[in-house]
Structure 1
């Protein structure tokens, strides 16, 4: 394995494949750089989601991997000059291997077994000490809490996070890419290395943890079997394998010091980019996290429940109706609702699991002394405004904790297409919002591969990649209707 830009590709452009796995769907995309402009072509899209087993919620990883291989074969058929593959996914979940074989389908982070893991870990290492060591906000599904209650850990010889597990099956290389590893709770926030003393303290064998590598590392080519199936001996290159790390690469920030970002999909990851971690009592009390970014940057952010609230509400209504809902029409109707709507805490723990989201939201509103809006457009507007308020609170807190004067909010990902949400975020932050690119994660994945292949020369920085995004995509602007300000 080698790192750095090198001379692979030998030019100022080319084509690569991006495997982008989300909590509700996955896709394979072709990314091309031509004349300084990056573009994407969707090749395959496939469903993903929790599957109930006797022992809890899991991912159907084997089916997911088959979808990936089929998508890569289609990518090669469309673009025979593909140079490499990069893989990103959601964080924290992992597969356990013994002698190279997967012991079981990976658990889903929404499985409620993690609650017991929190108690076990905090009894050994109080949260304030954990935060000093790993810099992570408290989330009950972080990997170290899952490890604490996962009995097969004792039988395994290797644990691989989802994108690393895909890369292993493609190439045979067992590594842990740093941006995703930083979400486990087992990486020393000051040195970006495994905290083996912490692992041993909570009963995790350090031998379970593979070598850490940085984005842009060449892992090797597809195995002979997969080369035959895919149609080419493609190289696999690590990217920011945590999907938010890839998305932040593609945020077209003119000045990171005055910009906040929101990577909005199932979750809304709200924060700023730092050069060094910020591990203060105030940051811990605000539940802000320090996750690894590409080029050693720090994603200082707060997890906000995002479009999960809306997608689960729509799923419940579609089950009730027995028919699909026209989401654009419903959003237009929601935007037209006059007058205030009641707000609820988008991060209320009762809203984290699947199942009858409208009833759960109504219960949260009642507990706060409010009534659920009557009619679906008003109910959707309450969801949108509540998410936007949570976004605004996180943006304001990020400004306060870092002492920065923020002037712009960038929304990337699927949420950038939700016009009422973007406008509500501008209104509630008091800052202009720039929405787009929609496919930020795939773009970041492609650009980090391209840099490793030599597309941008030997001295390309993160700013070089963002300038390419800015030249390729025009964000949609939203001005705050309350006049605006800077923080």
Structure 2
């Protein structure tokens, strides 16, 4: 069987890429054709995404991709653009780190909202952002489009909302449709919520000579689709700027205990639910590295390995770590000020504090997810950029007592491409998709070691949380 070529536009919070995948029913060959920075812009109105710059790079990248069967777009969740009846964008989309939601009052009926949507309360949720939205703009808006849907509209002229990204908004019911209960209670115009499409649906033709296909447009949904599991007894960690830690389930978990524990239910492919909790991931280390300047990740990890274990710990789920604005300050000093135990002094001690604390945050999330969903995972699949961090992978295995299978690093792009290939008939189903990833991508196995101290350390982090 000759390979068919598909293009994936993969937008992250700090950079974007256009990749091409040559796919057969037994092979995948990935090529990156364009990479570009994704830098927010500070305007008098607040912090915004430079979506026009991203669109320019996307068009250039798709043109450089050459002949492909189709293209698909994935990105981060929660952020949106508003367009009027003429299709004009009503201002640049806000960045989820913008401060305009900081002082809003709490949602008045959080339990009812939870039961309707299954989404945890977060200050960056789409619903919370809309509560801070300019009412004049809302009155002028004809459609609300999530970032991938807005880009798809510019490329094809077609209006729609992809299912997995819509599910993150807190406007979307657990029944898989927009919630009139929420829009009524929030006094939001129902007309702005567009028709829903599913991964694999054809969006429309572009003027670049290729059709655009809906993929799992929330990047975590694409990453989880590409988890190379052999069965359903697994936990996943999609690890990058954030660590999204959870289970893939057949139905949402809507118990009061799950709500109190900060879990959320987001849609996955083929009717699955991604039951997960956000843990502040490698952003903590990235901000330390940014503050220190020229320090390489390899050097910092070597210094961390030499530092003493469990001297300092932080709670990686503490809301104090939520990134707000574009200048979050000196992260090493913030970590030192909030650390439990001895104040970390050196770079190695700070990095060890971050990575051990993240591993413990992973353990707490995996254990709580399993308890709340009545599931007992046998292995953890860690995908995304964090799969390159051998210390974090090994310490996650040590902390949880479960094997960690690290990789693929390119899980999001693979999920994007292979959903297109499935729509084209090259990939049969989700099991075939995952087997293809498993058989073609580098996966490193980390076995848990009987290292002392993890039990006491997790108790320390849990005590900080309470």
Measured against the shorter chain, the TM-score band is over 0.9
Q: Could you say if the C-alpha distance between residues 116 and 207 of structure 1 is closer, same or farther in structure 2, counting changes exceeding 3 Å?
A: farther
Cα drift, residue 103 of structure 1: 1.2
Runs (5+) with no aligned partner, structure 1: 1-10, 228-232, 319-323
Cα drift, residue 118 of structure 1: 5.1
What is the aligned counterpart of 1:101 among 54, 72, 88? 88
Equivalent position SS for 2:102:
helix
CA contact (8 A) 1:351 1:361 kept: no
Equivalent position SS for 2:65:
helix
State the partner residue of 1:56. Answer: 46
- Kindly provide the CA deviation profile for residues 126-157 of structure 1, in whole angstroms up to 9, marking residues without a partner as x: 11111000001121111000011110223211
CA contact (8 A) 2:220 2:238 kept: yes
Task: Please tell me whether residue 39 in structure 1 is matched to residue 29 in structure 2.
Answer: yes
State the partner residue of 1:327. Answer: 297
State the partner residue of 1:72. Answer: 62
Q: Distance in 1 between matches of 2:334 and 2:382?
A: 27
State the partner residue of 1:348. Answer: 318
Task: Please tell me whether residue 280 in structure 1 is matched to residue 255 in structure 2.
Answer: yes
Cα drift, residue 336 of structure 1: 2.6
Equivalent position SS for 1:101:
coil
**Which stretches of structure 1, 4 residues or longer, exceed 6 Å deviation after superposition?**
none
Cα drift, residue 435 of structure 1: 0.2
State the partner residue of 1:178. Answer: 163
Q: How does 1:371-410 map to 2 (within 5 A)?
A: 371-410=342-381
Equivalent position SS for 2:154:
helix
What is the aligned counterpart of 1:438 among 398, 406, 409? 409
Q: Distance in 2 between matches of 1:483 and 1:337?
A: 15
State the partner residue of 1:5. Answer: none
Q: Could you say if the C-alpha distance between residues 118 and 21 of structure 1 is closer, same or farther in structure 2, counting changes exceeding 3 Å?
A: farther
Q: Distance in 2 between matches of 1:268 and 1:392?
A: 12
Equivalent position SS for 1:219:
strand
Q: How does 1:199-210 map to 2 (within 5 A)?
A: 199-210=183-194
State the partner residue of 1:475. Answer: 443
Q: Distance in 2 between matches of 1:287 and 1:347?
A: 10
- Kindly provide the CA deviation profile for residues 91-135 of structure 1, in whole angstroms up to 9, marking residues without a partner as x: 00001111201111110101121234453xx13xx1111100000
What is the aligned counterpart of 1:217 among 188, 197, 201? 201
What is the aligned counterpart of 2:224 among 241, 248, 252? 248
- Kindly provide the CA deviation profile for residues 147-184 of structure 1, in whole angstroms up to 9, marking residues without a partner as x: 11110223211110000011111101110000000000
CA contact (8 A) 2:162 2:197 kept: yes
Equivalent position SS for 2:257:
helix
What is the aligned counterpart of 2:433 among 451, 465, 468? 465
CA contact (8 A) 1:262 1:268 kept: yes
Q: Distance in 2 between matches of 1:378 and 1:447?
A: 41
Equivalent position SS for 2:28:
strand
Aligned residues: CA RMSD? 1.6
- Kindly provide the CA deviation profile for residues 408-458 of structure 1, in whole angstroms up to 9, marking residues without a partner as x: 0110000000011101101111111000000000000000000111113xx
Q: Distance in 2 between matches of 1:73 and 1:67?
A: 10
- Name the TM-score, length of structure 1 as normaliser: 0.89
Q: Which moved more, 1:139-148 or 1:12-21?
A: 12-21
Q: Distance in 1 between matches of 2:237 and 2:78?
A: 20
Q: Which moved more, 1:294-303 or 1:326-335?
A: 326-335
Equivalent position SS for 2:450:
coil
- Kindly provide the CA deviation profile for residues 328-369 of structure 1, in whole angstroms up to 9, marking residues without a partner as x: 12212212323433110112222222322112212222xx5x
Task: Please tell me whether residue 197 in structure 1 is matched to residue 181 in structure 2.
Answer: yes
What is the aligned counterpart of 1:414 among 385, 402, 407? 385
Runs (5+) with no aligned partner, structure 2: 453-466
Cα drift, residue 483 of structure 1: 7.4
Cα drift, residue 476 of structure 1: 0.5
CA contact (8 A) 2:15 2:37 kept: yes
Larger relative contact order (Cα-Cα within 8 Å, sequence gap ≥ 6): 1
Q: Distance in 2 between matches of 1:336 and 1:423?
A: 15
Q: Which moved more, 1:430-439 or 1:63-72?
A: 63-72
Q: Distance in 1 between matches of 2:195 and 2:2?
A: 31
Cα drift, residue 287 of structure 1: 1.1
